[in-house]
Chains A and B, each alone.
Chain A
Amino acid sequence: MKVLIPGALRSYVENGHAEAGGATLAAVLADLERSYPGIRFRVIDEQDRIRPHVRFFADGVQVRDLRQPLATASELVIVQALSGG
């Protein structure tokens, strides 16, 4: 599927989108990590929790759990809030 990458992660994916596959969010992120080492830890912590202010949307629907099936999705959007001063 196509993965849209937020601006804050462009140091990993310069053009802002990537291709990755997998049956769940965890699998898609693992595939993304293989292509862009280090990117997963920036959005998922060492306890496998989605970091605060990071959100995932598969075909427009929010994905809240790494185990959520994504097999039929065509697009994953990673959103990172820009809150703060």
Chain B
Amino acid sequence: MKSLLLTLATRKGAWLYHGDPTRRTWRVDGPHFLGHIVNHVVLDPRDGRTLLAAAKTGHLGPTVFRSTDYGASWREAERPPAFAKAAQDGGGRAVDHSFWLTPGHADTADVWYAGTSPQGLFRSEDGGVTWAPCSDINEDPQYRKWMGTVQDGTPDGPKLHSIIVDPRDPKHLYLAMSGGGVHESTDGGRRFKPLIDGMEVVEGFDRADATFHDPHCVRLCPSRPDRLYQQNHCGIYRLDRPAQRWQRIGINMPAEIGNIGFPLAVHPRDADTAWVFPMDGTTVWPRTSPGGRPAVYATHYAGATWRRLDVGLPASQAWWTVKRQAMTTDRLDPVGLYFGTTSGELWMSGDEGRHWTCIARHLPEIYAVEAAEPA
């Protein structure tokens, strides 16, 4: 059995949790980059050794750090993600922070993708040492219109996220933008097309316009790569390609809970199973657990039914939630589920969500949690 590594990105730094193969004991290693705003820390599944961390330090510019010794030492990227210099002074965009990191296809060693705020797609071909803009969408007038401005985006900046590489084809990519919708590329990320049919938008806006779409998290099922799940600002969806139209499976959630949330996780071997973490999206959008009673909801039937999973979680007065990158699974059997909260707690379930235990408390606000298997 393999050991596990949980990588946590938080508002005040990064932490690594090393787990034994039984997932009963965890050794904490951190903080790394104390005081830095860290949005994502990802271990390369191709070598089980290379860690990348997307960081920003207060008002300093954004960068990416790289480690090949599980965080014992870090080196800064020589050329972090940055937009092309505009022809005219004052006209171009600047990366505020790198938000999302995705390793490339298994056959393309050292290729990585980064999604930024404001929305941009970047690629590294040397394991994260140097990055360059890699897609027409960064400068395309139509895409720039769909991306909107900082004023249109999420509170801490509009984001490009959920960069997905089809495990069968390195040229087939998906990405999502908050705001700006879900998009698909078949040429390795140079050009994209919207994939927004069936997705709802806030009442009164035009659902045919990608501008108004706010996907929060999109996941591809490893066991059935033609199946995507999505947690959106306006519900939970499933899409079975080659279909083009998303099906709103969140309508099957209990009405008193609703189907608003940020994260979504999929089962590594069962494409009918997925987990969400609902939050209160009523009135002024408190973005807390509904009623102060946090729970994960699971479907084992591709969204036809949902089951509440809250054994071990606080029964009342717990007013936190889980952000879009902060819920994930491992690949063991039974599958381990993990989430980090806005209140700095790290929770896990070793039985696919039936029972929950808290691994860590008192961390800074957790932005991202990933589970990986070190080499």
Chain A residue at smallest Cβ distance from B59: A53
The segment from A14-22, A24-32, A42-50 found at the interface with B is: A42-50
* B57:A8 contact, CB within 8 angstroms: yes
A9 to B61: give the CA distance in the assembly, Å: 11
Q: What are 29 A-B interface contacts by the 8 Å CB criterion?
A: A8-B60, A37-B78, A38-B63, A41-B80, A41-B82, A42-B63, A43-B60, A43-B61, A45-B61, A45-B94, A46-B84, A46-B85, A46-B92, A46-B95, A47-B86, A47-B91, A47-B92, A47-B93, A47-B94, A49-B94, A52-B59, A54-B59, A54-B60, A80-B58, A80-B59, A80-B60, A82-B58, A84-B58, A84-B59
Query: What sequence of 0s and 1s flags, for each residue 57-97 of chain B, a beta carbon within 8 Å of any chain A beta carbon?
Result: 11111010000000000001110101111100111111100
Size category, A interface: 20 to 34
Is A61 part of the binding interface, using a Cβ–Cβ cutoff of 8 Å?
A: no
Given A46-B92, A46-B95, decide whether A38 and B58 contact each other with a Cβ distance below 8 A.
no
How many whole Å from A18's CB to the nearest CB in chain B?
A: 16
Which residues of B from 144 to 186 have beta carbons under 8 Å from A?
Answer: none
Residues of chain B with a CB closer than 8 A to A64's CB: none
Which residues on B are within 8 Å of A, measured CB to CB? 57-61, 63, 76-78, 80, 82-86, 89-95
CB distance from A10 to the nearest CB of B (A): 11
Complex Cα distance A43/B92, Å? 17
Q: Which residues of B sit under 8 angstroms from A47, Cβ to Cβ?
A: 83, 85-86, 89-94
Chain A nearest CB from B13 CB (Å) reads 14
Q: Which residue of B lies closest to A41 (CB)?
A: B61
Contacts of A51 in B (CB 8 A): 59-61
B63 touches A41 (CB 8 A): yes
Name the distance in Å between A84's Cβ and chain B's nearest Cβ. 6
List, in ascending order, chain B residues with CB within 8 A of A42's CB.
Answer: 57, 60-61, 63
Would you give the shortest CB distance from B138 to chain A, in whole angstroms?
12
Q: List the B side residues contacting A48 at CB < 8 Å.
A: 85, 89
Q: Chain B residue with minimal CB distance to A84?
A: B58
Cα–Cα distance between A38 and B79 once the two chains are bound (Å): 8
